[in-house]
Structure formats: structure tokens, C-alpha cells
Structure 1
């Protein structure tokens, strides 16, 4: 069913305003009133989207990361190694993205599983991981899960691992997203294709 355009518009306004405010104001100091005033949105409308600024932030920034990890693969047109390389590159993009606002993401991960970025990311990443498993199954990758149950287990494992390594990255001071993406890719299940295979090399390196 198509969403009400007014609902979509107010959600977009709130998310955009939140993106702008967290650049200069700590998340914990942003009130619902201040956010609504800045966005030009009524408080009643705000509460149709979220119960608190933190909840809105978790939903908004989890969606941002979800977009960065959305990879469209043509299983019949790309090799498994090419597909794995595109997943690896999307990981690099996420690491780069969150490194720009580490303080914010540290606050959002928090410790309460019911009110943390980790829980929201898990829900966002599991369908993405499921698609990846299906791609490699369709490509006939040796060792890839062949049953729906095994595929769901693999998707849950990969999604959980992604959330864990992202939190570890946020807690670190590292800035080399390229090296981190290679290192994390090497931790994937043994059947996951090597994204480095067939990678073009540069003369002199």
C-alpha cells in the first residue's frame, strides 16, 4: 500500500533536520521541541514517526547504512568474485560513512538491545545478507547453503557479524576503511568468494 505523501514528507523533513543538527549538537541535547521547530513539523506529527529523538535517530541512521549496503547483483552476468567485491566495496563505504561521525554512532549503539543501533541494524542487514546468500547459491558457489533453512542461518550469522564488526570499527580510532574492508571480508564464511580474486593489479605495486 502506498504511503501517505504527507507522512513521507514529514519523515523526510525530520530526518534531514536531524542529520543537520547532529553535526553541531550532541544527540542527547536535541529535544523533540527543538527538532520539530527546526523542521517545521508539529510535535503530534513527530510522534507518529518515533517516540523519542533517539528512536528517530536509530531508525534514520540504520536506514542510511541499509542504503549503503544495498547491492544489486545480476547472478548470471557477474562472477562470484565480482559479486563479492561489490559487497566488499559497500562495506568500505559504510566504514567511511560512520567514521565521519564516530561520536554519534558510539552513542547510538549503546547497551540496551531494545533501544540501540545494533538491534535496528540487525533487522536491516538480515534481508541484505539473505539476498547475498541467494546470489551465491544461484551462482553455484561450492559450499554455499543449499536449503532455505541453512540459508536463513547463514543470513543471520552474516548480519550479526556485520553489526559486531561495525560496532568494533566505531569504537576504534582507525581511518583506513580500505584495509578494514579487506580484513573484515577475510572473516566471512569459508564458502564466501574471495573479493580479491581477479582484482586488477597496478604495475609497480
Structure 2
């Protein structure tokens, strides 16, 4: 991507994150984002097909940055904590994307990132993986999908509760997780 396209994408991401903090994503328009970003609708549609897909893209970049902690820790809770710190920092944005569940592109972005983190965690710590998952790729995909979807559901409930205690949320999510992830 050339420098101009990168600047446009970053302007659009910044605009959607700012506006989505005060306007529900279902009410946010491409035109409003363009006005705030100082860009045209043509530029918007070269980078996203809707405000919610742009929001998911903007959040994805932040989630990816938060999850870089995983290879540098010995506790999966550190990854959970980093993710929840991101969610708390963007709580208004996430709440504005819920009706009553997170909008599909945003939910998918979170789930995809958690899946990638769990797969990385299992690769970094192969001794934790039960033999029935270690020897069958389909079984491992099921375990990862289950854990990722459950974590997103837990995050949605945490957002609804308006409780900003990250440590409590980490403890509750880990307590609900299969124990082998925690070894």
C-alpha cells in the first residue's frame, strides 16, 4: 500500500473509532466518517464497504497490537488481560457496536484474534494440549473455536455489566475455561 493510501486508511480508522465512541455503529454513516476524516466517499469505499466493516478493521489493528504479549509470557492470563485492557479502553465503541450482541464483523474480528492467540499459545506450550486434541487437527479446531466463542460471549457480558475491573474479568473468564489451557 502506498503512503497516501496508508494515510487515508489511518484517517478513516481514527474517524470511525472516534465517532463510534459516541454514536451507535448502526447509526454511523460513511458520510459522517468521511467528513470527520476529511476524505471523500470514494476513498471510504476503496478502504471499506460499510462503517461496521471499517470499525472491525480499526479494532483489529489494535487487538493485534495488544496480543503481541503472548509470545513473551508464561501465563495465558496475560494475553487475556491485554485483550481486556484494549476492550476497556474502547468500551464505548464496543458497547455502541452491541445490539444486543456485537455486530457480526466486530464479533468476528475479536473471535478471529482470540483463535489465533489460542493456536499460538498451544504451539508455544505443546505440553498443555491433551492428547485427543494434539493428535487430531479437527479436534483442536473445535477446542479453539469453543474457547474463542466463549471468550467473546464473556466479553459481551462484561461490557453489558459496565464493570471495568479487568482483574476480576480475567479471573472469571479463566475460571470458566478448560483447565488444560491454564497449565
The TM-score bracket by the shorter chain reads 0.7 to 0.9
1:107 aligned residue: 96
1:126 aligned residue: 115
Report if aligned partners of 1:66, 1:125 keep a CA contact under 8 Å in 2: no
1:49 aligned residue: 47
Which residue of 143, 159, 163 corresponds with 2:130?
143
The structure-2 alpha-carbon separation of the partners of 1:127 and 1:136, relative to structure 1 and needing over 3 Å to count, comes to same
Report if aligned partners of 1:55, 1:115 keep a CA contact under 8 Å in 2: no
For residues 134 and 183 of structure 1, the distance between their equivalents in structure 2, rounded to whole angstroms, comes to 24
1:64 aligned residue: 62
Report if aligned partners of 2:8, 2:43 keep a CA contact under 8 Å in 1: yes
2:175 aligned residue: 186
Shift of 1:110: 3.3
Pair 1:14-2:12 in alignment:
yes
Report if aligned partners of 2:85, 2:166 keep a CA contact under 8 Å in 1: yes
Report if aligned partners of 1:18, 1:57 keep a CA contact under 8 Å in 2: yes
For residues 119 and 14 of structure 1, the distance between their equivalents in structure 2, rounded to whole angstroms, comes to 20
Shift of 1:17: 2.3
For residues 88 and 103 of structure 2, the distance between their equivalents in structure 1, rounded to whole angstroms, comes to 24
Report if aligned partners of 1:109, 1:116 keep a CA contact under 8 Å in 2: no
Shift of 1:129: 1.6
The structure-2 alpha-carbon separation of the partners of 1:70 and 1:161, relative to structure 1 and needing over 3 Å to count, comes to farther
After TM superposition, where is structure 1 displaced by more than 4 Å over at least 4 residues in a row? 23-29, 111-114
In structure 1, the gaps of 5 or more residues are 75-81, 195-205
Q: Which has the larger radius of gyration?
A: 1
Give the match's secondary structure for 1:70.
Answer: helix
Shift of 1:104: 2.6
Shift of 1:66: 3.4
Tell me which protein shows more helix as a share of its residues. Answer: 2
1:93 aligned residue: 82
For residues 114 and 77 of structure 2, the distance between their equivalents in structure 1, rounded to whole angstroms, comes to 14
For residues 85 and 116 of structure 2, the distance between their equivalents in structure 1, rounded to whole angstroms, comes to 22
In structure 2, the gaps of 5 or more residues are none
For residues 192 and 101 of structure 1, the distance between their equivalents in structure 2, rounded to whole angstroms, comes to 27
2:144 aligned residue: 155
For residues 102 and 93 of structure 2, the distance between their equivalents in structure 1, rounded to whole angstroms, comes to 17
Shift of 1:142: 6.2
Report if aligned partners of 1:17, 1:35 keep a CA contact under 8 Å in 2: yes
Give the match's secondary structure for 1:169.
Answer: helix
1:39 aligned residue: 37
